[in-house]
Amino acid sequence: MARPQVSGSAVRIAAGAIAAWLFLAAPGHAATTGAEQIFRGKIVSCHCGAGKSAAAPCATPCTGKGLTYMLAGPAGSAPYQLSDQKMPALYPSRNVLVVGYLEHSTTIHVDDIVLELPEQVRRAKTVAIVCDACPRAEAKARKAALRALLDWNRFTLSDDPHHADLIFLFSANPYLGDYLTRDGPDKRPVAVDTTYLNLVDPRTGQNLWGDYRTEGWLLVSSSTRDLVTEVRQLIEMDQNPAIGHLFVDAHLARRTPPSVNSNPGK
């Protein structure tokens, strides 16, 4: 989680339509120039060029000016420069997956950035579905999520969020991190244009991962299924390369970063 907007038709890629060649790469590991792939690492920042900054000077050659975001991998490996500086600014110091290709040996052309799923999500066995700020058409999200999770058959579903390991929180509004602390349901105005999914720790209210789809009220169900599918792909792609291909294909269409205020994964 969390994000770039994309139409439902662009995200729902048929299993047979695999156009991108994929493998998971980390900075310091071999990667193929020009091939679409996933790069795993952590977004770090440094100061590039002359002038003063609170950030430390970049330890590796850089082409930007001022505050610069890079993708760092294992200790001792050189970080990659990132062609897009708006998307990584949404995820400072976060572990992410960058979808893109090497423009040359030290720079990734960024097509999309997705938050890495934390181990807490991967270890979860029991989940609850909560539809918060879900008026009118957005109420379809709960039914669509239930069907998608039953089809996945990975989790035991609980009706009580307090007894679940994880909450799948759907809403038409961005999550403010206040699931446990606010007084009653979300009272903000709602426009059913966007479906947000946040994976929330039921004990702390912490947002562990998030993403969204802006497809309008008619496509709330498909938006919900796409979001659950994205979580499933993030969990399963390490064991099944074909799922990684689908993940890359889906995210190649997602090229416009959201505003900082709408980032569901922060």
Residue 21 pLDDT: 32
| Domains of the chain by residue range | 13-115, 119-262
Residues 6 or more apart whose CB falls under 8 angstroms from that of 75 comprise none
Residue 109 pLDDT: 93
3 state SS of 136: helix
Residue 14 pLDDT: 31
Comparison of pLDDT for 80 and 76, the residue scoring more: 80
- Of the candidates 231, 215, 250, the one whose C-alpha atom is nearest the C-alpha of residue 129 is 231
> What CATH number was assigned to the domain covering residues 119-262?
3.40.50
- Alpha carbons 220 and 151: distance in angstroms, whole number: 18
Residue 262 pLDDT: 42
Yes or no: say if 118 and 91 are a contact pair by the CB < 8 Å rule.
Answer: no
Is 70 exceeded by the pLDDT of residue 265? Answer: no
Q: What is the tens place of the pLDDT at every residue in 178-201?
A: 888 887 777 788 888 899 999 999
Task: Provide the residue count of the chain.
Answer: 266
% residues pLDDT > 90 (the chain): 49
Is 70 exceeded by the pLDDT of residue 74? Answer: yes
Of 75-84, 184-193, 209-218, where does mean pLDDT reach its minimum?
184-193
- Alpha carbons 142 and 193: distance in angstroms, whole number: 16
Is 80 exceeded by the pLDDT of residue 24? Answer: no
Q: What is the tens place of the pLDDT at every residue in 106-138?
A: 899 999 999 999 999 999 999 999 998 787 777
Yes or no: say if 78 and 29 are a contact pair by the CB < 8 Å rule.
Answer: no
Residue 233 pLDDT: 94
Residue 104 pLDDT: 81
Comparison of pLDDT for 262 and 157, the residue scoring more: 157
Is 90 exceeded by the pLDDT of residue 146? Answer: yes
- Of the pLDDT bands very low, low, confident and very high (cuts 50, 70, 90), residue 27 is low
Burial per residue of 31-65, b for 16 or more beta-carbon CB atoms within 10 angstroms, e otherwise: beeeebbbbbbbbbbbbbeeeeeeeeebeeebebe
Burial per residue of 146-163, b for 16 or more beta-carbon CB atoms within 10 angstroms, e otherwise: eebbeeeeebeebeebee
Q: What is the tens place of the pLDDT at every residue in 84-110?
A: 999 999 999 999 999 999 988 889 999
- Average per-residue pLDDT for the chain: 81
